[in-house]
Structure 1
Amino acid sequence: MRLLGPAEIRILANKLDLRPTKKLGQNFVIDAGTVRRIVRVAEVTSDDVVIEVGPGLGSLTLALLPEARHVVAVEIDPVLAAQLPLTVAERGLSDKLTVIHADAMKVAPGDLSGHAPTALVANLPYNVAVPVVLHLLEALPSLRKGLVMVQAEVADRLAAAPGSKVYGIPSVKAAWYADVRRAGPVGRSVFWPAPNVDSGLVSLVRRDPPPTTATREEVFAVIDAAFAQRRKTLRAALAGWAGSPAAAEQALRAAGVTPSERGEQLDVHAFARIAEHKP
């Protein structure tokens, strides 16, 4: 498969009069070795239907198509969404690609032309990476695994464990859906334009959420409250959620959590227990 290199990317960009925008978080991968590595680390197989968010000019798409059963590419930019099928057609793989011109934050199963994605593999726009990952894990229960390239700082947050300085809302909410880990660094020189930050790969493997009588929305409400004021103890941080500091303490003790602890010390199971005991 002939992949896109720096010269091909520039030719395509000139043809489309493309000026990558910060608003859409557009940084295009120009290194074939990087996209091959992503596909390899993602462990894409011929059984997988891959959803790719923000395919851009198609660098990663072209590496995914020979390995996957099908690729559903979700692109918000109308010019790029129109060009991608043409780029793929030149390589004779059009039957394995479906392009959806849409905002990934609004995608639902019914939007995907009958395809049920099993894997998320994407170079995600930095400014929406966390909400996109969380939305797709919630909206597409068929997703079993994922490998996303995000800003290094975001990768650290998504994969952080309780007690880490960067452990927070993204870490806990991602853990509701999946086992999450860092899967390697990515340098700046593989992009055009080169970003002013490093990137990282994040692996996600779907697992069942914690066993709980609380709903996801109820658990996420506790998580949001606990991290709204990171320096406060949970007794104080959850006072608004519970109705008063005393009620928060009662719920925490019932859940087996010390009221003087802080949110960054708890795993997703503890937040689920707290949600069960809301007054």
Structure 2
Amino acid sequence: MNNLDLKEQTKNLCKQLDIVPTKSKGQNFLISQGVLDKIITTADLSKEDVVLEIGPGLGILTEELTKRVGRVVAVELDRKLLGYLKDKFGQVKNLELVEGDVIKLLNYQIVKLLEGKKYKVVANLPYQITSHVLRLLLETDSGPSEMVLMVQKEVGERICATKGEMSVLAVMVQYYSRPEMVAVVGREDFWPVPEVDSAIIKLKTQNSKLKSKEDLFFKFIKVGFNGKRKMLKNNLRNIYSEQKVLAAFWELKIDSRARAEDLGVEEWKRLYQKLVG
């Protein structure tokens, strides 16, 4: 199906269902077959896979997932869309539809549904919940092995940033996973057309956790990033003596003029261990 057909089909479905896409729910529906194919290819799916989909919308991605994997759990917030999906996929045995806010359900109901099995996340995430959902998925002990996500382009670039452009978000995501920017997706590939371009990113989770409490590590990171463009040593002096900070910098070969965005995840971990223990 070409993009024009998908766009008209999407508009007609929304009209039939009396759905007016809302920004608050992140309802910008994908209307590009090529982009859909790219998501599926990137996810590298097999019949052994279990997939969590967040925000299935009108089911364009859901349909492809159910053809390729053993089981799909799809979480939809919009009741009208959920009703449509139940009608559309009523005979599909490997799909479980869940109504609700994924942020509220993720820590207990979704984990219970996945039964502790290894799973992937494949989703076109509503932009306003991207950071929150990522944090929940990455921090939990029952997180996915991989994620293929459609996110706002700017967010994708921040997540995949390298030294010199790091942020709290980049450190958090790269602490738990290896992110990759797969492709940029133009705003014209959605209806209604959003104000920004998107990106497909892939995250492969990794087990490189610190022995001490992670919440303290991320509080340490936030202190480091407090005060945009300020030198890191000046931010850390709010907690530690200048002598201790400079000694740690010297031992770890960190430039005394470095800013928070100049350090990669491994440098942050070593600095944390040196200053906090």
Normalising by the residue count of structure 2, what TM-score does the alignment of the two structures yield?
Answer: 0.88
**Structure 1 residue 122: Cα displacement:** 0.7
**Structure 1 residue 253: Cα displacement:** 5.0
| CA distance in structure 2 between the aligned counterparts of 1:21 and 1:117, rounded to whole angstroms | 33
Please identify, of 228-237 and 136-145, the stretch whose mean Cα deviation from structure 2 is larger: 136-145
1:107 aligns to what SS in structure 2? Answer: helix
Work out the number of aligned pairs and report it.
271
Q: How does 1:120-131 map to 2 (within 5 A)?
A: 120-131=121-132
Q: Match of 2:263, as an amino acid?
A: L
Number of the residue aligned with 2:276: 278
- For structure 1, which runs of at least 5 residues remain unmatched after alignment? none
| CA distance in structure 2 between the aligned counterparts of 1:80 and 1:140, rounded to whole angstroms | 31
Number of the residue aligned with 1:18: 19
Number of the residue aligned with 1:177: 176
1:209/1:65 CA distance change after superposition, 3 Å: same
Q: 1:239 aligns with which of 215, 237, 240?
A: 237
1:256/1:81 CA distance change after superposition, 3 Å: farther
| CA distance in structure 2 between the aligned counterparts of 1:16 and 1:243, rounded to whole angstroms | 59
| CA distance in structure 2 between the aligned counterparts of 1:79 and 1:275, rounded to whole angstroms | 48
Paired residues of 2:148 and 2:201 also in contact (CA < 8 A): yes
Number of the residue aligned with 1:267: 264
| CA distance in structure 2 between the aligned counterparts of 1:103 and 1:255, rounded to whole angstroms | 44
1:10/1:248 CA distance change after superposition, 3 Å: same
2:151 aligns to what SS in structure 1? Answer: strand
1:66 aligns to what SS in structure 2? Answer: helix
**Structure 1 residue 278: Cα displacement:** 2.2
Number of the residue aligned with 2:48: 47
Paired residues of 1:24 and 1:125 also in contact (CA < 8 A): yes
Number of the residue aligned with 1:76: 77
| CA distance in structure 2 between the aligned counterparts of 1:213 and 1:143, rounded to whole angstroms | 21
1:7-44 deviation per Cα after TM superposition (whole angstroms, max 9, x unaligned) = 33223211221111111221111223321221111112
Number of the residue aligned with 1:162: 163
- For structure 2, which runs of at least 5 residues remain unmatched after alignment? none
**Structure 1 residue 65: Cα displacement:** 0.9
Identity percentage over the alignment?
Answer: 31
| CA distance in structure 1 between the aligned counterparts of 2:33 and 2:141, rounded to whole angstroms | 29
Normalising by the residue count of structure 1, what TM-score does the alignment of the two structures yield?
Answer: 0.88
**Structure 1 residue 82: Cα displacement:** 2.9
Paired residues of 1:218 and 1:275 also in contact (CA < 8 A): no
2:149 aligns to what SS in structure 1? Answer: strand
2:195 equivalent to 1:196: yes
Paired residues of 1:32 and 1:59 also in contact (CA < 8 A): no
Please identify, of 65-74 and 125-134, the stretch whose mean Cα deviation from structure 2 is larger: 125-134
Paired residues of 1:124 and 1:150 also in contact (CA < 8 A): yes
Q: How does 1:1-40 map to 2 (within 5 A)?
A: 5-40=6-41
1:121/1:81 CA distance change after superposition, 3 Å: same
1:264/1:29 CA distance change after superposition, 3 Å: same
1:228-256 deviation per Cα after TM superposition (whole angstroms, max 9, x unaligned) = 2131111111233x255455445555655
**Structure 1 residue 138: Cα displacement:** 1.7
1:52 aligns to what SS in structure 2? Answer: strand
**Structure 1 residue 177: Cα displacement:** 0.9
Number of the residue aligned with 2:136: 135
Paired residues of 1:51 and 1:117 also in contact (CA < 8 A): no
| CA distance in structure 2 between the aligned counterparts of 1:184 and 1:200, rounded to whole angstroms | 6
| CA distance in structure 1 between the aligned counterparts of 2:132 and 2:251, rounded to whole angstroms | 31
